[in-house]
Structure 1
């Protein structure tokens, strides 16, 4: 529960620093670069080599991929039909398509289901959300941010994106069974611990909430998809088609119902895909999700 409190504290800290202009205006940019170039690679090296690549528990992992794939399909089609523009469409695909399965999801799952629930949540986060945000989300961001540039330019941008590079390295370590040394593991752990304060502070610095913000139809499209539609799809699909039940079903649905992922919003922001909308989806989505998760917990439990 301490992590949940820290989420609120650092989000409010960012808003406070922004409101009273205590830090330079471009501080959020430096924090985002720190997250992209330092923290995400560290997370890849720390967690991905440890993933069990066995076929067990594929459905919970698939939930993260279904959530992102459906987001790309729905918002991609709607954006094209109603001419939203690449910036809005790309922002919604990425930010609404990725759930905060790690430092929001894992503490909540631990509080509700204990260590057994955490094991499933970690699998969803590491083999699902983290791989998506390190690879596919970068592809989407590149496509929507650079318009009709050559495919080779998109490929270069992806291959030189630090989280993707370290994702490939970490997957190679996993494949060959190479473990990270204890000394490096400690360093990576220290860096990884800065994810929550740096990311939430950055979001708070960029969050500008006013009455006009709440009137944005795109904000509510994204939150409606993330907090209601995709967990409903996962519940109906896993329960009725795959006959899944018990703890695996409950954790899968609740993780799908988590607020938008901060890392996804940062990728959207760094690719200039509607930065304000990306910040709002996270800044409003996280506190709102505490209420909607209560609804989903009741649904899957009773």
Structure 2
């Protein structure tokens, strides 16, 4: 696990260095949007189709999705209950609740699981995210962002959900899988080639999106009390809860370890898009992502060892 995190940290560092030095005159935010757009629209759907077309789909898949959904919903409830008692304004509360609830299950979880467990781990990461986390983000998450902010075009969350290319692949691949449709050899190689670019590009994009200035010593005493509930829920409470839920439901062995790791991921980078769109406190959300990502380099090995890794 330490070797895996060091490899990931190197790629994240590449993205952070791009933000610092902006080679070729290209700023990091422009590059991040280009990379994540490419991954989101083209490369990630290819990877999802490749993995889920060949991954066994059954009762365990449903249990993974239920554990993921349970973790998100409990985190939403816990964060809402805590932050409603604080004097923070709605824009900040909404950002912190989103940061507590939604893990970076694909952008960071997919690299961790694929490197730790191999191709099999990709299937767990994709099912955890696309069968539960992303649908909840684009429905419940949008409704929460609207309630705490403003802006947006009033689009129905279900319509927004229908516009997510990886979800199209996540819907089509199990049907092809369960229908026994063989994958054409030419398509196997093409999807493998496209999917192979997802992990490094996602990690570099994560680095481009981090705001390391939030870790300056003079800012931490102000930030940490505000962020502490979010960090505690995201990195400690939810992995423990999902571990118990999944274990009680019958998930075991390496699958259980992989599910716990997914639940222990730092805050989802994609949440920045919702904060921008609905005028939540994007800077505060970005700080939560940065600090939770930095802390996860220590908490992920802890959960990996505790869950039987």
What is the TM-score normalised by the length of structure 1?
0.76
Q: Is residue 2:44 matched to residue 1:43?
A: no
CA distance in 2, matches of 1:252, 1:162: 24
The change in CA–CA distance for 1:143 and 1:245 in structure 2 (over 3 A counts) is closer
Aligned partner of 2:237 in structure 1 is 229
Q: Is the 8 A contact 1:94 1:141 kept in 2?
A: no
Aligned partner of 2:38 in structure 1 is 34
The change in CA–CA distance for 1:190 and 1:134 in structure 2 (over 3 A counts) is farther
Aligned partner of 2:90 in structure 1 is 85
Alignment deviations for residues 129-151 of structure 1 (CA, whole Å, 9 cap, x no partner): 23224422222343244458797
Offset, 1:229: 0.8
2:297 to 290, 295, 299: 290
Aligned partner of 1:256 in structure 2 is 263
Q: Is residue 2:185 matched to residue 1:182?
A: yes
CA distance in 1, matches of 2:26, 2:74: 39
CA distance in 2, matches of 1:245, 1:184: 33
* 3-state SS of paired residue (2:58): coil
Offset, 1:228: 1.0
Q: Is the 8 A contact 1:41 1:162 kept in 2?
A: yes
Aligned residues: 289
Matched ranges for 1:1-302 at <5 A: 4-22=5-23, 23-25=25-27, 26-56=30-60, 59-80=63-84, 82=86, 84-85=89-90, 88-89=93-94, 92-93=97-98, 96-98=101-103, 99=105, 100-108=108-116, 110=117, 119=120, 121-147=121-147, 153-210=156-213, 211=216, 214=220, 215-216=222-223, 217-237=225-245, 247=254, 249-260=256-267, 264-266=268-270, 268-271=271-274, 272=276, 274-301=281-308
The change in CA–CA distance for 1:173 and 1:17 in structure 2 (over 3 A counts) is same
Q: Is the 8 A contact 2:113 2:122 kept in 1?
A: no
Where structure 2 has 5 or more consecutive residues not aligned to the other structure, the ranges are none
Alignment deviations for residues 205-247 of structure 1 (CA, whole Å, 9 cap, x no partner): 23222226644345433322222111222344456x5687655
Query: How big is the alpha-carbon RMSD for the aligned residues of Structure 1 and Structure 2?
Result: 3.6
Offset, 1:190: 2.2
* 3-state SS of paired residue (2:26): coil
Q: Is the 8 A contact 2:211 2:290 kept in 1?
A: no
Where structure 1 has 5 or more consecutive residues not aligned to the other structure, the ranges are none
CA distance in 1, matches of 2:196, 2:92: 31
